[in-house]
A and B are shown apart, each in its own frame.
Chain A
Amino acid sequence: MGIEGIGARVARKEDKRFITGKGRYTDDMVVAGMKHSVFVRSPHAHAKIKKVDTEAAEKMPGVIGILNGQQLADDGIGNIICGWMIHSKDGSPMNMGAWRPLAQDTVRYVGDAVLIVVADTKAQARDAAEACIVEYEELDIVTQPDKALADGAPQIHPEAKNNLIFDWGLGDEEATDKALASAAHITEMDIVNNRLVPNAMEPRAALGIYDDAEDHYTCYTTSQNPHVARLVMSAFYNVAPENKLRVIAPDVGGGFGSKIYIYPEEIVCLWASKRTGVPVKWTADRTESFLTDAHGRDHITKVKMGFDANNNIVGLKVDTIANLGAYMSLFSSATPTYLYATLLSGQYNIPAIYGNVRAVYTNTAPVDAYRGAGRPEATYLLERTMETAARELGVDPAELRRQNFIREFPHQTPVIMNYDAGDFEVSLDAAMKQIDYAGFAKRKKEAESRGKLRGIGMSCYIEACGIAPSQAVGSLGAGVGLWESAEVRVNAVGTIEVLTGSHSHGQGHETTFAQLVCERFGVPMDSVSIVHGDTDKVQMGMGTYGSRSGAVGMSAIMKALDKVEMKAKKIAAHLLEADEADIEIENGELKVAGTDKSVPWFQMALGAYTAHNLPDGMEPGLKEGAFYDPANFTFPAGCYICEVEVDPDTGTTKIIDFVAADDFGNIINPMIVEGQVHGGVAQGIGQALMEGTYYDPDSGQLLTASYMDYQMPRAEDLPNFQLSTSVTECPHNPLGIKGCGEAGAIGSPPAVINAITNAIDNNDLTMPATPQAVWTALHNKGGSRDDKNQFDRHITKAAK
């Protein structure tokens, strides 16, 4: 490894612009003639639109136009769709209701867009939006997924009877029932995985620009996958043909999944730009983000895990209700099915597994993939159940896990996944050592002397990422392939541009991707640029989510680099009159091995472009592209251990120590990987301790729609994290890497809750474990609580 090559802690190339305030986010964009827009949204969770009157609003200062859903329909703009087909157990396709970018007859959640108001300034648009009169006839509502399935529940979409979108199963139910019937011990749990709001710090935004001379559209948008946005807006929403639509995702301020999807606003801004003749910008305010960004999680699950007399797991049965909200977002059907039930084997040998998932509509914001997407839900239920089983069986939770670990690879689970590499014991041991697991009893005692309840909890997670083999996901219902593309352009002076279909919104691609090039050709970091995020510049690509940019995106770059290397060596061999096989590339030079003959990299590149002296028949230039389709998912895994202290008087939990031992395969830039883990663990701790999304069950109003009511993890809520990594290489990609983006958020919530329930000696605790919830659990041992739907308004720290 060189100082800038693979494995080096290279400081990020992209940082300069961010630390000097020169980042360019969508809301920073200004184009000539640009106007501002505000959406008029439904204040009701479910209602018929009776009448829309915009006459007075249209006459207000600065107003350019107020547009509605009928006009949108007249112009042929299509429904927003879910791109992953799921079939129910009976073979019927999922029941997808219509989602209009601007609602026409019915609104189905608070925040559903009804009108767009375009005006000279944002303030004017807001004033006019407030003057728009929309008359509604309120309908009955339902916000809770279990209640939505009940007979007589309000019907949200005519297409989905009883609000059931699908009733899907994975695994062998008969074998699982049999295994459980023979079990010596069964651990049963009711698990709630709380709804979360992703809360990327940059609110979503869009700028639609229509050029009538060219009949061409440009969209700046906060997207994790601009090409997918273009494809979907073109092929399904009928905004414009792909060659007439340019999508640019400039600097994007965090995504975490919520910026994968194509939302009504970018479609409507593009369309409104044509209708009004001006570029139209929209930027969400924070409450709008709370209301309309796709939320995450929201599962209710019954679990049964059976053990034989020797504490080996014999079977696992899971029955889940997944709340998908009022409409099916782009990947909403995949998240609680193929990204969830396929991970139910965890790190364990489980001979029989059956997962049943019913997805339902409710009058709440759409739910889709959020950091981890399905895998946190699987991990949470498994690791809570393992911990509980250990307590019931009276064995050490670490040893129960260890005993059931999968030890041979490849390992075929009963739920599709084929784990190709791993060593779960190594991470378990590393985490136990780092936290001094053996010394816990002493620390607990010491805490007791201070009046504190100390607890320890662990979680052993595995995730499937590097999403995903195209053919495999196609056979499971995906509407797209999940390969990635790259193009490597060597310029005539030897500098290099790498065009990637991945998109960086904090992951540091401009640095790690460049490290691959530095490693390969020995050229300096400054001579390499990474280009991404613009459909006019970059060839078709699939974007960044599912921890795929390393395992899939970088693999595509490696393939393209192979081709460049091959041609460069041919040119050098020709120039040096040597055999191609003898050429080595080192420190920016192409050398004939074992001699002092060499040609500098830049000279070889210049030679490729002057084309004065190339091998016979060789095309001039040096530019190569590649598409990479992975052979399998990758399987990062690890062990997280959390130690907490609970104050019995207040129920407040303090995280004393958090240890993360991960196996991500090979690592390109450890500094960036650590940052990903820090952020992921922080989000997981947020879910476990404080982040609760509450809809009022009677009105459907989102009660936690600002930072006043939705508690985000702050610096003081978190400890310094102790990290370590071990390596088993991914056998099927050229770098042997697995990905690290989601692990932290997947592995941490059960570790935290296991630690708190250990501290308070009561297992009856749901997330978020707010001081109120913990206090109640501590003082109501054995009592029954129903806090899962209760609005638990905790006081957030007031801003300074």
Chain B
Amino acid sequence: MAKVSLTVNGKNVEKDVEDRTLLVQFLREDVNLTGAHIGCDTSQCGACVVHVDGKAVKSCTMLAAQASGCEVTTIEGLSGGGDLHPVQAAFREHHGLQCGFCTPGMIMAATDIIKRHGTKLDEATVRAELEGNICRCTGYHNIVKAILDAASKMDGAAKVAAE
């Protein structure tokens, strides 16, 4: 058994778990945050993406024990308790989701993509960056649109804030 102590969505969590427990299992079963989904066994679908210390990580590729001491943000904590995060809002506005299963992972990956590329984000970059996230419902068309729109809105908001 491993003692795991970490911050999840701003709250301290401490638990004893089996050594082999994956971060995604820990979040879903021990912390009861079921927003991160498990869509594959080979770390390819991206349904499980969360942020670990501010970076997008597939939570099925990481042991819970490895996340000890880290700050984890899941889809449930993305908006920080406020209104929807701009990426969440854009997914809704542009119909970037259908069944919703890939959506938490898509949104967590998208916020990271926008953070890394900022204003330089274009369609080709978004499509290339989504390589690790599979959606079977949307054909990605509206997901790409949502991410580009969120990026431009967030950029605009950042500029306003800076002024």
Contact = CB atoms under 8 A, between A and B. Distances in A.
Interface string B28-61: 1000111111111111111100000000001000
Interface string A17-43: 111111111011010000000000000
A209 interface: no
Given A15-B92, A683-B136, A718-B139, A201 B36 contact: no
Nearest to B143: A715
Interface in B113-160: 123, 126-128, 130-144
Interface in A661-677: 671-672, 674-675
A681 B141 CA distance: 11
A800 B102 CA distance: 16
A714 B130 contact: yes
A712 B140 CA distance: 12
- Scoring B45, B95, B130 by chain A CB atoms within 10 A of each residue's CB, the highest score goes to B95
Contact of A15 (B20, B97, B127): B97
Interface string A255-267: 0100000000000
A274 interface: no
B65 interface: no
A202 B101 contact: yes
Contacts of A202: 37, 39, 99, 101
Contact of B132 (A22, A286, A679, A800): A800
Interface stretch (A246-254, A421-429, A576-584, A766-774): A246-254
Contact of A21 (B76, B132, B141): B76
Contact of A25 (B37, B92, B107, B133): B37
B42 A254 contact: no
Q: How big is chain A's contact interface, by range?
A: 35 or more
A254 B88 contact: no
B133 to A, nearest CB: 8
A544 B127 CA distance: 31
B38 A201 contact: no
Contact of A254 (B95, B99, B104, B133): B99
A236 interface: no
B18 interface: yes
A657 to B, nearest CB: 13
B138 A675 contact: yes
Contact of A678 (B18, B42, B99, B138): B138
B141 to A, nearest CB: 4
Most chain A CB within 10 A, of B46, B136, B139, B142, is at: B139
Interface string A268-308: 00000000000000010111000000000000000000000
A799 B58 contact: yes
Contact of A679 (B34, B93, B126, B137): B137
Main secondary structure of the interface of A (DSSP, over half): loop
Contacts of A797: 131
B100 interface: yes
A761 to B, nearest CB: 29
Interface residues of B, number: 59
A148 to B, nearest CB: 30
B36 A21 contact: yes
A287 B41 contact: yes
B91 A19 contact: yes
Nearest to A255: B99
B119 to A, nearest CB: 20
A457 interface: no
A768 to B, nearest CB: 16
B84 interface: yes
B98 interface: yes
Nearest to B134: A712
Nearest to B36: A21
A450 interface: no
B38 to A, nearest CB: 7
A203 B47 CA distance: 12
A238 B28 CA distance: 34
Contacts of A200: 99, 101, 136
B79 interface: yes
Interface in A706-757: 706-708, 712-716, 718, 720-721, 744
A680 B143 CA distance: 15
Nearest to B147: A715
A672 B76 CA distance: 25
B95 A720 contact: no
Contact of A506 (B46, B134, B137): B137
A11 B93 contact: yes
A16 interface: yes
Given A718-B139, A720-B141, A506 B99 contact: yes
Contacts of A718: 127, 139-141
Contacts of B130: 714-716
Given A15-B92, A254-B137, A20 B20 contact: no
B131 A11 contact: no
A23 B88 CA distance: 14
Contact of B98 (A24, A287, A675, A721): A675
Contacts of B135: 201
A123 interface: yes
B127 A253 contact: no
B97 A19 contact: yes
B23 interface: no
A680 B128 CA distance: 21
B136 A715 contact: no
A24 B91 CA distance: 19
A252 B99 contact: yes
A707 B42 contact: yes
Interface in A488-523: 505-508
Contacts of B137: 201, 254, 506, 675, 679
6 contacts: A15-B97, A22-B35, A201-B39, A251-B100, A286-B39, A718-B139
The 3 closest A-B pairs by CB, nearest first: A21-B35, A253-B101, A18-B100
Given A19-B104, A20-B35, A202-B101, 15 more contacts: A12-B95, A19-B103, A123-B18, A200-B101, A201-B102, A254-B98, A285-B41, A286-B41, A679-B98, A680-B139, A682-B139, A712-B134, A716-B128, A718-B139, A799-B42
